[in-house]
Structures are given as C-alpha cells and as structure tokens.
Amino acid sequence: MTAPQPFRLVADIGGTRARFGVCEAPGAPPAEVRSLACAAFASLADAARAYLAAIGQPLVEEACVAVAAPVTGDHVRFTNLGWSFRIEELRAVLRLRRLRVVNDFEAQALALPWLVPPELRAVGGGAAEPLAPRVVLGPGTGLGVAALVRAGERWVAVPGEGGHVALSPMDEEEAVLLAHLWRRFDHVSAERLLSGPGLQLLWLTLRELRGLPAVAAPEPEEITRRALAVAPPDPVSADTLARFCALLGTVAANLAVTFGARGGVYLGGGIVPALGAWFAGSPFRARFERKGRFSAYTAAIPTFVITAASPALRGAAAALDDPAPR
C-alpha cells in the first residue's frame, strides 16, 4: 500500500473570519475552502483543528497562515482580534513539519500574479506595466496594505502596516471632519475610517456634524445597503459611502506614488468588492487622479477591484513555494 499524500494547509485569518483550504501539491489551487467565524473559537489552533476535522482530518505536513497582524517575531498578536499565538508552539500543536506565517496582505500581494482577468474588475486608468510594482489594499475589519515588486525572476511581497498612516484631508469638509475626530483621537489613521468600524464612525460623525440626534450606528452592511438603495433615500448613508470612497482614493493614490505602482493598484477586503458596479461611478477614481503635479501620473495607473474568492489563500500557497528564508 502507498502512503497517503500529505496536503498543505493554507489559512487567511482576518479580524472576523478565518478561511481555510488545503492544497494537494505545490502549485495546486486551494480546495475544501471553508470560512469560519473567529468569534466561535478561543484560538487559531482551535479553529484550524475544527476545520481539519470537518474535512476528514487529512494528513497535513506543511502550512502557511496569513494573519491580520504584523509578523515581527515568534509571538503574533492580532490587531483587531483577541487571539495571539507563538509560531513554534502552533507548529507543534498542529503537528506540522513546516509552518510559515505571513501578514494577510503579504499573501494578497503574492496572489496578484495568479489572478486572471475575470477575477479583476477594472476601474479606470491605462494599461498595467507587467513588471512594474503593484499595490494591494483592502478595507475590512481593518485596512490591509502591501506591495509586490519584481526582484530578478521572481515577485517579492513587501508587507507593512500602511493602514495606520495618518489620514489627510483633501477638501474643507474633510478638514472639518478630521478636526472633529482629532478631539477624540490623538492619531486618526487611514484605518480609523477606511474599515468596517470606520464606516460606522464616519456615519456617526457626519450625523454629529449635521446636528442630528445621537443614535447607535447601523452595521457596516446596513449603511452600505441604505446608501445603495433606490428608495427610501438615506442621505447620511449615501454621503458616508461617497466620502469613504473618496478617502480611499486619496490613500490609494498616496500608495501608488510611494511605490511607483505602474503595475496597478488592487482593491480587496470585504467592503469594496461588495459594492459591485456602483464603485466605478463613486468618487474613488476622481480622487485617485487628483494628485496636483502628479495627476497625469496617477491617471495612467490602472485600478482594479479583486473579485476572486479567497485570494489570500492562493497567496499563502505561493508563500510556501517562496525560496526566501524564514
């Protein structure tokens, strides 16, 4: 009898959902993809064991876990989730021969070369330069950011915590908005507004600035639903979503000029892909191209919405084949 072929476990752990899959061999796409609620488990190890049990406990020897957290050593603490773990301990608990842990948007960046046109929705700009740097960002529970650059014959992901850069205003209304928030927060980051909780904060702040009664913020999905509804009209939700997209355009353009991302800027996460065709007509692209002396530069850079399912799992699989030492 031949021994069973070991699988590779890949995971994408955000602040709300934990997505898992298994790959049969190097280069194979993730299969048996499942999404679990992080709140249902006490730890990453518990979620991983529940997933493996649910798909029949396959033999797994290697894994790559993409996490919504900075990976700066053996101890990993999630930014918007109460989980933490030590990499070597997790490897031992899951009985793995090899475990690699990467930032979730590092995995998103590594997935970019594997995405095909039907998995990308173009939103303005010219043609992408094939070997030029690329940037990926995505508002979800937080705001993830990473870049992808060419090094010789391979692509190298550049992870970071770009969601925590200071948010800058681009018009008088945004200056008033930021001044209002600075009374409450000593640092208003991009993630503070460009995330699910940020969408709620933006909705509440616009109401406050308009002198409307204090109420609890709806869930982010409800704000979006109200904003996109034909009737009845909800001007605060509509203005919230429009301002959200404008601010996202500012941040995306800043990243584009920082990295020289003539290979394109890619938008993932849980919020933007769900906006569908409406996003193309939102203030995002006009704001992206509003860059003063560099407006022609950003106008030429294409922007894309990632519509692929679980791209970070593909990036996690690619990370296992990355020859870079870890």
Kindly report whether the global pTM for this prediction surpasses the value 0.85.
yes
Q: Provide the residue-wise pLDDT of the chain in tens; the chain has 326 residues.
A: 455 678 999 999 988 999 999 999 888 889 999 999 999 999 999 999 999 999 999 999 999 999 989 999 999 999 889 999 999 999 999 999 999 999 999 999 999 999 999 999 999 999 999 999 999 999 999 999 999 999 998 999 999 899 999 999 999 999 999 999 999 999 999 999 999 999 999 999 999 999 999 999 999 999 999 999 988 778 999 999 999 999 999 999 999 999 999 999 999 999 999 999 999 999 999 999 999 999 999 999 999 999 998 899 999 999 998 755 44
| Cβ atoms of 135 and 145 closer than 8 Å | yes
Give the whole-angstrom CA distance, residue 54 versus residue 9: 13
DSSP per-residue letters across 159-204: E--GGGSBP---SHHHHHHHHHHHTT-S--BHHHHSSHHHHHHHHH
